[in-house]
Amino acid sequence: MKKKKWLLAADHNACAESMAGELGLSRLTTRVLAARGFDTRQKAQAFMTHSLEGIHDPFLLKDMDKAVAEIRRAIQNKEKIAVYGDYDVDGVTATCIMIQYLKKMGADCTYYIPDRLEEGYGLNVAAIQSLYDDGCRLLITVDSGITAEEEAVFAKELGLRLIITDHHECKEKLPDAVAVVNPRRVDSEYPFRELAGVGVAFKVICALEKDRPIADLLKEYADVVAVGTIADVMPLVEENRIIVSYGLNYLQHTKNFGLKALMQKLGLDTKVVTSNSVSFIMAPRINAAGRLGGASSAARMFLTEDPREAAALAEHLCNLNHRRQEEENGIYEQIIARIKAQPELTRGKTMMLWGDGWHNGVIGIVSSRLSDRYGVPCVLISMSGDSGKGSGRSIKGFNLYAALEKNADLLEKYGGHELAVGLTVKRENLEALRDALEAYAHTAQNEEIVPCVNVDCRVEPEELTLREVRGLSAMEPFGMGNPQPVFLMNDVTIEEITPISHDRHIKLHLSKQGKNFYAFVFGMGAKSCQFVKGDLLDIAFSAEINSYRGNENVQLVIKDVKWADGEEAADREAWDTWNAFRTDREITKEQAALLSPTRDELVAVFRHVKANAEGGVLCAPAATLYRKVRYEARACSRMNVGKLMACLEIFRECAIFDYEQSGGDLVIRVMNYQGKADVNGSVVLKTLMAILKG
């Protein structure tokens, strides 16, 4: 498991102090603003403004005039119009606002969202034929279609006119359509490239309603547009920031029956809705429908005007999300068990694993969890018969799409971008592809790629008051391009560790300088936690206000955590001493004392390994293992990592345990030893004792 690199921004205390007074903001907020380059009053005000003047003219988008003319003509001629969407939140929300608008205009319209499991992403000829046979004569894509060259030709031959609205990267040649509306076109002069698919669909509506004030259109559509934009992890800057800001405000009193029902189901109807609420609570439920092959139920929820149907569909999405979590956790735990049994799987610069029957709709999430946990690009492939469909996630600095492109001869199909890919591969090519990705990582990367955590500033406990933390909301909405502020606090003590959500996460009681905080580490259970009560930590975290039964307090959400610098230094000293000893370099009496285990310490290590080995194997970081032994046994207060290694070497000599180092972990195997071992015969122990005696 790779350690993440913490990138601490330069501090700007002086300008932060003056900006706080000038702008009426909390000092913590101005420290973050200054750290991000908004270090003057003018820059900060420009960043935080939500002025509608930042909404650009939709006709600056290429082909917008053609799209508007064609849609108006179809409505006027009473032709049937089909909206072709996508199965993720962005695609579903884009589909729904377009359908809502067309219906409002009296159009004869329908929508089509492909099945993720059966059809995959994008336009396909079978769907086009079906829509044409159903009487459709104008097809509008949303959040898809920009690479559908063959499908565009097929539609034209049928006599089905095509308008493409999309936001994905374009190829050099665009599909042959009546209009192609995409801010990422090579010839685009639109000032903002980062609209979501639902954002582009909204711009089409704005163009169709060019005489209506933008404020009115935002009031009508921004809540749904905000959900799709946030869920698609688009940068919340410039035009997106304005749209999402208005959308989050309107979400509080949304008139969309489906959104209202979902928020009530999730307990968000009585809270201030933030981008985090959308990202981590609402979006997974909406996405679950598409992941499990039924995105149309999410679309129906957005489109229904029946409160009872909306409530039933919201309930259905929550149930689907529960199923999705079960599928995801089942695959994840299966892989973690495999890694424990085969620790060599984590030794490479990449990770590629496959399994029969893994659910295609969730392996992307599992890939992301594994990539984050082990700090390497990860590709998972669900096999069925002789073929498999895969999903991969990467880390910043490693272009996973380029790695696939380099090895296209081993693939049936692939697509994606630098950080996320999809692929299809034959079973016979699995091992070759795994080896090729690893080889690419070794040849294409000049230096080790290390996951990074960007930290805005270092803080002390007295700075984390309710007023200061509440003031951070002035920087909302948070998301891609404007992440939630991350702070660093050194030398924090763990007072208690509590598992929550069936040990999927942990709650920490932390203290420093007489101040106490509760912090949450998501995705880390107590069993997998590397730390123990009493450890001294450095933490990178976000700060939030928790409200419960009328009481408010500051709570922390841990982004990354490591032992405090002093603890790390002591570990390095003990490691260096052990390495010197085991390589027969001369060490002093003081160093020998650092490594020499007492009988109680040997017993404590033996008991811990025997008690925690699963299937005769214990896999854990050495720094964690010795701390757990030290915490469990009062007689082991002087235990350190060097002493732990000496204990393991002594047990190896006695054929009690065997061990090896795998990455940052120790893999300890319990041997089938019979009888009573005499550790006094250990060469390691005798040598250390001889050095101590001089």
Tokens of 463: 């700075």
pTM reported for the whole predicted model: 0.85
CATH of the domain at 481: 2.40.50.460
Q: What is the DSSP string of 220-252?
A: HHHHHHHHHHHHTT---SHHHHHHHHHHHHHHT
- 414 shares its domain with 277: no
CA-to-CA dists, residue 23 to 13, 34, 689, angstroms: 15, 13, 67
How high is the pLDDT of residue 446?
A: 57
The residue among 540, 563, 586 that closes a domain is 563
- 528 shares its domain with 588: no
pLDDT digits (tens, 9 = 90+) for 210-257: 999 999 999 999 999 999 999 998 999 999 999 999 999 999 899 999
pLDDT digits (tens, 9 = 90+) for 268-324: 988 889 999 999 999 999 999 888 877 889 999 999 999 999 999 999 999 999 999
pLDDT digits (tens, 9 = 90+) for 346-399: 888 899 999 998 998 899 999 999 998 888 999 999 999 999 999 999 988 888
**Average pLDDT over the chain, rounded to an integer:** 92
**Residue 31 within any structural domain of the chain:** no
- 69 shares its domain with 213: yes
Triad 104, 109, 111: Cα angle to 5°? 115
Domain total of the chain: 4
CATH of the domain at 688: 1.10.10
- 111 shares its domain with 234: yes
- 81 shares its domain with 213: yes
**Residue 497 within any structural domain of the chain:** yes
Give the phi and the psi of residue 196 in degrees, each rounded to 5.
-75, 170
- 290 shares its domain with 416: no
Tokens of 582: 């085991």
Q: Quick one: what percent of the chain has pLDDT higher than 70?
A: 99
- 485 shares its domain with 585: no
Give the mean pLDDT of 196-218. 97
What is the spatial distance between Cα 534 and Cα 422, in angstroms, rounded to a whole number? 44
The residue among 528, 563, 598 that closes a domain is 563
- 532 shares its domain with 577: no
Whether the Cβ atoms of residue 209 and residue 217 lie closer than 8 Å to each other? yes
The residue among 390, 424, 445 that closes a domain is 445
Sheet holding 387-393, edge to edge: 351-356, 378-384, 387-393, 420-426, 413-416
What is the spatial distance between Cα 399 and Cα 440, in angstroms, rounded to a whole number? 10
**Residue 243 within any structural domain of the chain:** yes
**Residue 44 within any structural domain of the chain:** no
Start-to-end CA distance of the chain, whole Å, equals 40
Note down the domain range covering 374.
Answer: 350-445
**Residue 326 within any structural domain of the chain:** no
pLDDT digits (tens, 9 = 90+) for 513-562: 999 999 999 988 888 888 999 999 999 999 999 887 778 899 999 999 99
Give the mean pLDDT of 404-409. 92
pLDDT digits (tens, 9 = 90+) for 423-479: 899 999 999 999 999 999 988 765 667 788 999 999 999 999 999 999 999 999 999
